[in-house]
Structure 1
Amino acid sequence: MKIQEVEWENPDAVQLRNEQSADLSARYDSPLTLNEPAPEGLVSFSVMHDEEGTPVGCVALVDQTGVEEVFGPGRTVEMRKVFVRPEFRGRGLSHLLVDEAHRIAVAHGFDQVVLVSGSGQPESVGLYRSRGYQELPPYGIYQQFETSLFFVYPLV
């Protein structure tokens, strides 16, 4: 597997984000969001490819330093768009994506990683808990949903 940082509009990145949106739409019976614009504060978007060059997963990092009081004073990056295509799941690839996100976050001088997941994503919640992520008080737009779960991971 090879993970590389790409532009937000890279065709593989767009395809994976749209597939992730479809997956979440089905899990939460929510509207499908396709071709969304790059978020403000985007630090990195990475795509994982298999040996044949097929895109299999992705992860994004967005600077959230000072955006929410609950984050405290440290430099904070939010991990978003963690996704592995269904046919590639169960191989530990999400761990590789999280490792890469942590590496990039450290290289950019961030103190902690935060993220939002949900009760409809038990695999993701299990991944984050197994990696040492701790629950965080609700923040941002997703605090209005009772299915939302919030996590933080200190990098320092």
Structure 2
Amino acid sequence: MRVDIAPATPEDPAVIALCTEQQAEIEARYPGADEAPKGIDPRVEFLLARIGSEPVGCGGLKPLEPGMAEVTRMYVRPAHRGQGISRMLLQALEEMALAKGWRTLRLETGDLQPESIGLYQSSGYRRIPAFGPYVGNVLSLCFEKHLTD
């Protein structure tokens, strides 16, 4: 299986479709919690994973402050999970961050997403106190990683 990962814009129909699926999955996992981000932030720089011509996953980086960005909108379609695509996307996002001068990456995931927590911890991300819009959200778990060249 060959996975191609390439930049995409927030307006790309494949990115919009994947983010819509991600939002529906989050809403199903956290009913009534209003956990899902609404809309796609135009500042997010996306990477899109494809197998052949089929979009199978995405992830993005949103600038937070000089030298720091947030990993956001990480999603792989259920039929393609367990194949290492999330790990490939995360590694590609880290490489993109370094190329842009972002040396610290932060992210948020929910406490009912053990697969995400496992991916981030096994990739060197460490728990931190909630940041930004996640402060005070008891369902949010925040992580950070300092990148090196």
The residue that corresponds to 1:69 in the other structure is none
Q: Kindly tell me: are residues 154 and 34 of structure 1, through their superposed partners in 2, closer, same or farther at Cα, counting changes over 3 Å?
A: closer
Aligned residue for 1:90? 82
Cα gap change, 1:109/1:147 in structure 2, threshold over 3 Å: closer, same or farther?
A: same
- In structure 1, the partner of 2:117 is 125
* Contact 1:17–1:81 (8 Å) recurs in 2: yes
Are 2:140 and 1:148 aligned? yes
Structure 1 residues 101, 149: closer, same or farther in 2, change over 3 A?
same
SS at match of 1:3: strand
Structure 1 portions without partners, runs of 5+: 67-74
2:78 maps to 1:78: no
- Name which of 35, 38, 43 aligns with 2:41: 38
Aligned residues: 145
Counterpart of 1:102 in structure 2 is: 94
Query: Following superposition, which runs of at least 4 residues in structure 1 exceed 3 angstroms of deviation?
Result: 30-35
Q: Normalised by the size of structure 2, how large is the TM-score? A: 0.91
How large is the RMSD of aligned CA atoms in angstroms? 1.7
SS at match of 1:110: coil
The equivalent residue for 2:126 is 134
- Matched-pair identity in %: 33
Q: Is contact 1:18-1:34 (8 Å) kept?
A: no
Q: Which runs of 5+ in 2 are unaligned?
A: none
Displacement of 1:135 in angstroms is 0.8
Cα distance change of structure 1 residues 22 and 32 upon mapping to structure 2, 3 Å threshold: farther
* Structure with the largest fraction of strand: 2
